[in-house]
Each structure stands twice: as C-alpha cells, then as structure tokens.
Structure 1
Amino acid sequence: MFCTSAPVWLTAQVIGWSLLLQLVIGGAISWQLARRQWAGNPWLDVLVTLPLVFPPIVLGYAILLLLGRHGWLMQALPHWMQPEVIFTPAGLVVAAFVAGLPLMVKPTQNAFASTPSSLREAAATFGLSAWQIFWRVELPLARRGIAAGLMLAGGRGLGEVGLSLMLGGNIVGRTETLSLAIFNQVLDGNLACANQLSLLLCVLVIPVFLMLRRWGSL
C-alpha cells in the first residue's frame, strides 16, 4: 500500500477528464487545422503550441488572470454562469488539458492531413455526406494518430507541476495530484514516500512509452 492514496485517485480522475477534453476539443482543433482553410489557422496553431515554449508558471498565471474569480473571462459572464475553476480539481483538469494539448493536436493533425483526398472524393461519389465521410473514412484512418496523441497528452498531464500549482493550488487532500505529492514529500523530507510515488509514476508512464515505440515501428 502506498504511503498516501488520495493523490493517486485524484490524478486518475483528472487525467480521465482531461483526455475526454483532448478527444473532443483537441480532435476538433486538429481536424480544423488539417482540413479547413481559415485565415485564423496560423493564430490557432500558435495558440495551441504555446504550452511547448512558454514557461508553465507564466502560462498558468495567464490562465489565472482569465479564469480566476475576478478574471477577465469570469467578469464577462453573468454571476450565475461563473464556474469555480481555480484551486479546485477543475483547475487541475484545465492544467492537464492545456499542458497536453500540443502533444494531442500535432499527431492527430498529421493523421488527418495524411488521409488521401482521393478516398474522400470516392466516398463523396457514393453519396456520403461530409459527416459520414468523417466517421467512416477519416476517423478510422486517423485512429492511430489520435491514440498516439492521447497517450502523449495523458503522459504530459500526468507529470504536470507548474500549471497545476498555479491553477490547483496544491491543497493537500483536495488538489494534490501524484506529481505534486512527490514534490511535497520531498520538501517534507519523507523520501520513502516520495520513492514509492515516483515508482508508481514510472510504472504508469513506461507502458505508454513502450506502446508508442511499438506503434511507431508498425
């Protein structure tokens, strides 16, 4: 039994919700960048890539200014529509989602872009609508890239610390994820517990790495 189990279950919930957001929002962004010609695509691409180049603390502070209780976005919403995000598990989900978004979008975008246009045209000649072409042609062909993106994004969210600190607050028993628990245990000098949690984190991440290597060699 691990020295503390609460961060493990919280992390599982955070990663689960963040992967759902990656699949829906990240997948939609990927398809937009790969398929639709829009003047705002370069700016959307830059926005998605920001978490790769911006310091997590700076990015977390920017999101804090946007989603905090007195944030810019919250002030633009009616009081009854203002959700509690910062210093809650929802903030951790946002942190994991933002951190992993570039790693979800890039492989998925490439997967959608590599779908031969001749297949889509052939499907259209059989009377399939654009929506049917997406579900029956594009999505099945892009499934490997989507799965790779989900695994990369999940692994990135699993190890996120900087954004989680800013948006979740590192509140023990409430917003302490597995990575933050390791950080806290090291600060407290409880290295035995930190070793256990670090081992668990490795056990969770290594299979993802092995699966990505196997798929890359197929």
Structure 2
Amino acid sequence: MLDTLNAMPAVLAEADVRHALALTARVAAATLVLHLLAALALGAALARPAWPGRGVLDALVTLPLVFPPIATGFALLLLFGRRGPLGGWLEGFGVEIIFSFWGVLIASFIAGLPLVVKPVQAALEAASARLSEAARTLGKNELQIFFRVLLPNVRGALAAGLVLGLGRSLGEVGITLMLGGNVMGRTNTVSLEIYNAVSGGDFQRAAVLSLLLGAFTLLLFWGLRRLGAV
C-alpha cells in the first residue's frame, strides 16, 4: 500500500492518465444527467399497467443486467457502426459514434441503465395507485400527480439508483472496448487504463488507478448508507 501511495504522484503526472481521469469525469457527469432523465421517463412508463410494447421495453431495459457486456457491446457496434442502421444515418450528419466520446458515453449509459430504472419503476408501482387516486380526488392532473405527489415519494429510490448506475458505469470495460475502442489519448477511461496496465505488466500503475477508483466507489457506498439503501 505504501509503495502504491508513493507511486501515485508519478502515475498521475502521466498524460494518458490525466486524459483518462478527465474523460471519465466528463462521461460520469453526462451519464448521471442521462440516467436521471431515463429513470423518470422509463420508470414512469414501465410502472403503468399493461400497454402495447411494455414487455419489449422492459426486456430492453433489463437486458444489460443479464447479458454479457462484450456481447452487448458487439450488438451496439452493429447498430452504431458505419454500416449499421443508426451509425450510417448519424454519419450523414457528421456524427461518428464508434471510437469517439459518444461511443464511451453510450457504453456508460447502457451499462448502468437497469440499475437506475428498475428501482424507480418498483417504487412508482408501490406508490402510484394509492397516492394517485387520492390526488385525483383533489382535482390534480396527471402531470401534477407525477411531479408533486409521486416523485417526492420515490426520490430515495431515484437517488440510490443513480448512485448504483454511476458505480456500474465507472467500472465498465466490455461495452466500452467495443464502442470506444480503447484509443490512447481519446477513448481510454480509468477502467480501461487499469486493463491496459495489467495487460502490459505495469502492476504499480494498475494499483494506483485501482486505488483511486476503489476510493471513489467507497464514497458512493457511503452515500448509499446515508440514503439508507444498504
């Protein structure tokens, strides 16, 4: 441990490491915003009783939780690649997903999505029927019911889901390798830098980066304890 701490200044001074830290911070911030929006929209949609397409949407949201990350990444590569249906269309607007920041962001978003949406869905399903009916008797419309009645009652589940989703996204490797490509100085996140260090036999470097990532994960765990989620 002492050797790892002593090596930290030299490792953090490396250009590739500084880029990885900056990229990871940018991706984490953007992922948090996207997860918040997705949790509210998808959680509310899936909490509603049976409607056409609900089962398909539920399966797509849950899939990254049970499907191998490398296989998920390959499926997304086929979708967003230059010859893919979405990738080819986006390229017409000058937007490249593969081997870019956007590819890393999509990987981060997909990896943590089920951990954010499912807790909110469960909380809304538990609270919506009773509270919504009471609010309707008071003359509230559906928008007012969601934001003024339901959302305050599920904010704990929302916060816990966001923390869990962020933790999962920070450790993502498989999907990111497929979409981001692990390009040094461009798409290498902290997790990929750890992977690169271990692959190259630089265990000191891997230990320093693992310590940093582990410390942040413990901070997330402390946040969950404060929320009473664990």
Instruction: Name the SS of the counterpart of 2:124 in structure 1.
Output: helix
Question: Which range moved further: 98-107 or 27-36?
Answer: 27-36
Shift of 1:176: 0.4
Partners of 1:9 and 1:92 in 2: CA distance: 13
The question of 1:44 aligning with 2:79 is answered no
Partners of 2:150 and 2:93 in 1: CA distance: 36
Q: Which runs of 5+ in 1 are unaligned?
A: none
The question of 1:101 aligning with 2:113 is answered yes
Shift of 1:105: 1.2
Contact 2:64-2:114 within 8 A present in 1 as well:
yes
The question of 1:13 aligning with 2:19 is answered no
Contact 1:33-1:109 within 8 A present in 2 as well:
yes
Shift of 1:117: 2.4
Runs (4 or more) in structure 1 with deviation over 4 Å come to none
Partners of 2:19 and 2:213 in 1: CA distance: 14
Q: Which residue of 1 aligns with 2:104?
A: 92
For this pair of structures, how many residues does the alignment match?
Answer: 217
| Deviations 1:94-144 (CA, angstroms, capped at 9, x unpaired) | 001111111111111111112152322222222221111111011111100
Question: Which range moved further: 90-99 or 119-128?
Answer: 119-128
What TM-score, normalized by structure 2, do the two folds share? Answer: 0.88
Q: Which residue of 1 aligns with 2:3?
A: none
Q: Which residue of 1 aligns with 2:85?
A: 72
Alignment partner of 2:179 out of 144, 162, 167: 167
Shift of 1:79: 5.3
What TM-score, normalized by structure 1, do the two folds share? Answer: 0.92
| Deviations 1:53-98 (CA, angstroms, capped at 9, x unpaired) | 21111111110110111112234x3754362111101101100111
Shift of 1:50: 1.1
Question: Which range moved further: 118-127 or 9-18?
Answer: 118-127
Contact 1:31-1:112 within 8 A present in 2 as well:
yes
Shift of 1:217: 6.2
Identity over aligned pairs, percent: 48
Instruction: Name the SS of the counterpart of 2:186 in structure 1.
Output: coil
Superposition map of 1:1-218 within 5 A: 1=9, 2-3=12-13, 4-75=17-88, 77=89, 80-81=92-93, 83-216=95-228
**Structure 2 counterpart of 1:84, which letter?**
E
Contact 1:74-1:82 within 8 A present in 2 as well:
no
